[in-house]
Amino acid sequence: MSAVLRPSVEDLRLIGFYLGRVLTGLGLLMLVPLPLAAVLREWNALSALLLGAGIALTLGALADAHLRSRRQLGWSHGMVVVALAWIVGSAVAAVPMHVSGRFADPLAALFEAASALTTTGMSVINDLDHLEASMNLYRHLLQIAGGLGILIVVLALFSAGGSRVSTLYVSEARDERILPNVLRTSRFIARVTVAFGVAGTTALAVALLAAGFGPWRAVEHAVSLFFSSFSTGGFSVMQSSMIAYHAPAVEVVVLLIMFAGMLSFGLHHAVWRGDVAEVRRHVETRTLALVGTSLLVLLTVGLVRSGTYGDVTAILRRGLFTLVSATSSTGHQVNAGDTYLSDWGVLAPAALVGAMAIGGMASSTAGGIKALRVALAVKAVVHDIRRFLLPESAVVVTTYHVGRRRILRPDVSRAATTVLLLYVVSFLLGTMVALTYGGLDVTQALFEAVSVGANIGISIGVVQPGMPSWLQLVYVVQMLLGRLEFVAVLVLVGYLLSFVRTPRRRRRPS
Amino acid sequence: MSGAARTSGGAAGGTVGPRGGRTRWALLGAVALLVALVGLASALDRAAPRAERSAPAIADLPAPVLDAPIPCRRSDPDEVVTALADRLRPGRITAAIVVACPRLFDGREVVHVGEVVGDVLRRDGGAWVTLNDDPYALELGPFGAHRERAGFNTGLSVWLPDGLHEDLGPAGRHGRRGAVLRVEGVLRRADPADGGGLTVRAVSAEVLAPSTPVTAPVDRTLATAAGVAALTAAAAGLHARRRRRG
């Protein structure tokens, strides 16, 4: 760390300027549910959202007026902006939630906002079933904004474009460029989202009408369900999550949307341009097919052995849905959380933990370690074994397919295994901290820590209003680390440490 | 880490010069702003008008079958669950008690009391409802007029055959407490008719309290703060626009 230089006021100015843009985007997002609040005469929710929007837009405007800089956004600035966007964004997004009174304290409101923006989907809200429709819409909007990358959406739409934005895009834990230009990529992502949004919301509304919902409620639930499913966030309109619907058709549509949400946008692009063969060749598709099938078999064996369900339909409806919900990192639940512990035996929850830890694809809205990293780590191990087995003079080349055939380079496999290891450390630390909260056994603590750290949101009952504040704080940190895939947060920590540990570099006389 | 940080310093330039003293103040200012934000939100939360409850508590509520949920595991031998059954007393089940040990209640005749929330999903031969048995449903009424935080909503899915769901009125949601029902029925741990869901199949239902609207008073302090924030944002926006043009 000795070579670390203390950031100058100009650096902070640049970071503040871009952070201001993110806050402006967040402020505009808070304005979206206002017409609904006005129509439904939800005056307190309207005031809360207007207050939050006013604060966010004021901060954004002041940053725009006073922090504008001609300096180029560097890689490190981008990383710090990304990390701060989620942290400060969560803090500002928590304002309407906190003044709504439904959260025990500011930390609980921060937990909810961070859970939304990181698309974790865990909630500590009191009396969700009587929540204002506009405030519920706001929670779901935060998820779609966080899932699609609040930065890429806001900056791509607001910025003049070019290299500055591109730097941020690379930082935002999105490993694969889809199109050479960030603006074009953003537009493509927006196009995909709108297309799925129109189709998914319509299909959901029809399924909900058939399930017995009235037209207004069907649309309200359909929109929110689409946001939380495609963003793989998993917030629910009702406390009972998917249990409230009693409708296989709704579950099938949600399952398909979750599935679409966990696919990489690179793969979406390949399908859009007609290259369906890419789906078969892509290393993540193969990994997820293999891992998903294995886990489904494991989960089914677990449920059959424990005698939880009496027929195949129930096993498929409860088991498959929960597995896709876990793998996609959405977290929609078709079972009451505690029943995973009391009624699912041992093997089935273990399969869920595995699915949650691995997560979906890179360059998607899904969380977890990501199939790409798992595949690369496994390939790196196989590569090393082959090197041991073959003669010393043999040249061992390992390849993988992402868009095209690529050679597995040592730095790529190292990066994949490093992040994989950091996830495992996060899961274990979260488990150990939770265990100090009396009354939990290791199954509960591990399940919840993996669910939080991988941004999944399926809860076994640990996360609830009134949980200890320090555990809440640890989970917030885990959520942020998981969403930002560690690097951006570590750069931010390095930035902050540099204020404490390193001397300022003096300007040399010319 | 150090590599990233080193790059950070390199990209940042690292030179501070005569304006370097402002760095610390800039950081402190940002922290102070966040603290002020938290303080403002907390003050507004405390200043909100509040009543003791938003709807009358349900009178003559049967006592729960257990004082507190007793957890069991799928792997527990049948004898353990049978022994737990001996501890049940006449009364109503609650969602918390049931999900802690669904095996204990599978196939039993139960009494469940709760508020109809969400939607009444009418199908052929009956309707699905969610009956919440949490304090908002039975004691305090919906959150809003009162600001008592009593935790998550908890409830069970109940199938009401035709003849039992026609007079429920609108279900509970924002601005309304749904009808509070006392249902008697059979609990199914994995109901084949609901794809393996945990349900109560009612055979009788009695409305203990009808569906009623509840109104939360408008929080004038919050409305004023929101108005001030909106005006400030508009002024800040104009200021930024002028600076950009100037």
Same domain, A71 and A160: yes
Whichever domain contains B150, its CATH number is 2.40.50.140
Do the domain assignments include residue B236?
Answer: no
Q: Is the per-residue pLDDT at A100 higher than 60?
A: yes
Q: Is the per-residue pLDDT at A152 higher than 80?
A: no
CB contact (8 A) between residue A47 and residue B236: no
Size of interface A-B (CB pairs under 8 A): 336
Q: What pairing do the DSSP bridges indicate for beta strands B155-161 and B197-209?
A: parallel
- Please identify among residues 348-387 of chain A the ones whose CB lies closer than 8 Å to any CB of chain B: none
Same domain, A474 and A492: no
Q: Is the per-residue pLDDT at A162 higher than 60?
A: no
What pLDDT band is residue A173 in, cutting at 50, 70 and 90?
very low
Give pLDDT, residue B3: 36
Q: Is B240 on the interface with A (CB under 8 A)?
A: yes
Same domain, A448 and A499: no
Which candidate, A251, A36, A223, A239, places its Cα nearest to that of A127? A239
Give pLDDT, residue A235: 96
Q: Are A225 and A204 in contact (CB under 8 A)?
A: yes
For residue B69 the two structure tokens come to 């949920």
CB contact (8 A) between residue B240 and residue A217: no
Give pLDDT, residue A504: 53
**B188-218 as b/e, with b when 16 or more CB fall inside 10 Å?**
bbbbeebbbbbbbbbeebeebbebbebebee
CA nearest to A131 within chain B = B174
Please report where in the chains the tokens 């002020």 appear, as a residue. B36
Do the domain assignments include residue B55?
Answer: no
Percent of chain A with pLDDT over 90: 63
Which candidate, B75, B96, B206, places its Cα nearest to that of B151? B96
Partners of B150 on chain A (C-beta within 8 Å) are 126-127
Give pLDDT, residue A18: 87
Q: Which residues pair with B159 in a beta bridge?
A: B128, B201
Each residue's pLDDT, cut to its tens digit, for chain B (246 residues) gives 333 333 333 334 444 444 456 667 777 888 898 889 889 999 999 999 888 889 999 998 999 999 999 999 888 888 888 899 999 999 999 999 999 999 999 999 999 999 999 999 999 999 999 999 999 999 999 999 999 999 999 999 999 999 999 999 999 999 999 999 999 999 999 999 999 999 999 999 999 999 999 998 999 999 999 999 999 999 999 999 998 887
Partners of A243 on chain B (C-beta within 8 Å) are 130, 157, 197
Task: Name the minimum distance, in Å, from the CA of B207 to any CA of chain A.
Answer: 20
Q: Is A61 on the interface with B (CB under 8 A)?
A: yes
Give pLDDT, residue A186: 78
CB contact (8 A) between residue A92 and residue B37: yes
Do the domain assignments include residue A183?
Answer: no
Give pLDDT, residue A497: 84
Say what the ipTM of the complex is: 0.90
Domain count, chain A: 2
**pLDDT tens, residue by residue, A233-267:** 999 999 999 999 999 999 999 999 999 999 988 89
Q: Is the per-residue pLDDT at A32 higher than 70?
A: yes
Do the domain assignments include residue B95?
Answer: yes
Q: Is the per-residue pLDDT at A154 higher than 50?
A: no
Same domain, A118 and A35: yes
Q: Is the per-residue pLDDT at A158 higher than 60?
A: no
Task: Name the minimum distance, in Å, from the CA of A272 to any CA of chain B.
Answer: 35
Q: Nearest Cβ partner of A129 from B118, B197, B233?
A: B118
Give pLDDT, residue A155: 47
Mutation to test the A interface, candidates B80, B153, B177, most A Cβ within 10 Å: B153
- pTM score: 0.92
Give pLDDT, residue A161: 41
Partners of B5 on chain A (C-beta within 8 Å) are 1, 4, 76, 491, 494-495, 497-498
CA nearest to B152 within chain A = A126
Average pLDDT score over residue span A13-38: 94
User: Where is pLDDT greater, at A491 or A129?
Assistant: A129
Q: Is A342 on the interface with B (CB under 8 A)?
A: yes
Do the domain assignments include residue A415?
Answer: yes
Average pLDDT score over residue span A431-445: 88
CA nearest to B4 within chain A = A491
Domain count, chain B: 1
Q: Nearest Cβ partner of B122 from A3, A11, A212?
A: A212
Give pLDDT, residue A505: 52
Mutation to test the B interface, candidates A13, A19, A129, A333, most B Cβ within 10 Å: A129
Do the domain assignments include residue A94?
Answer: yes
- CA separation for the pair B121, A245 (Å, rounded): 8
- CA separation for the pair B229, A47 (Å, rounded): 10
Give pLDDT, residue A472: 95
- CA separation for the pair A19, A27 (Å, rounded): 12
**pLDDT tens, residue by residue, A366-384:** 899 999 999 999 999 999 9
Do the domain assignments include residue B93?
Answer: yes
Do the domain assignments include residue B139?
Answer: yes
Q: Are B140 and B150 in contact (CB under 8 A)?
A: yes
Give pLDDT, residue A404: 85
Same domain, A498 and A432: no
Alpha helices (H) in A211-316, listed in sequence order: 215-230, 248-262, 265-272, 277-281, 283-306, 312-314
Q: Is the per-residue pLDDT at A112 higher than 50?
A: yes
* Dihedral (Cα; A168, A170, A171, A173), 10-degree rounding: 130
Same domain, A382 and A446: yes
Same domain, A503 and A403: no
Q: Is the per-residue pLDDT at A203 higher than 90?
A: yes
Same domain, A374 and A495: no
Mean pLDDT of chain A: 88
Q: Is the per-residue pLDDT at A166 higher than 60?
A: no
Do the domain assignments include residue A159?
Answer: yes
Do the domain assignments include residue B199?
Answer: yes
Range of the domain at B104: 78-213
Partners of B154 on chain A (C-beta within 8 Å) are 239
Same domain, A503 and A422: no
Q: Is the per-residue pLDDT at A454 higher than 90?
A: yes
* Dihedral (Cα; A80, A86, A88, A89), 10-degree rounding: 140
Which candidate, A399, A319, A331, places its Cα nearest to that of A360? A331
Range of the domain at A292: 276-487
Same domain, A322 and A423: yes
**A63-74 as b/e, with b when 16 or more CB fall inside 10 Å?**
bbbebeeeeebb
Do the domain assignments include residue B125?
Answer: yes
CA nearest to A65 within chain B = B240
Which candidate, A164, A385, A45, A371, places its Cα nearest to that of B143? A45
Give pLDDT, residue A77: 79
Same domain, A455 and A510: no
Do the domain assignments include residue A188?
Answer: no
Average pLDDT score over residue span A44-55: 97
Average pLDDT score over residue span A176-196: 77
Same domain, A352 and A299: yes
Q: Is B51 on the interface with A (CB under 8 A)?
A: no
- Please identify among residues 67-106 of chain B the ones whose CB lies closer than 8 Å to any CB of chain A: 71-75, 95, 99-103
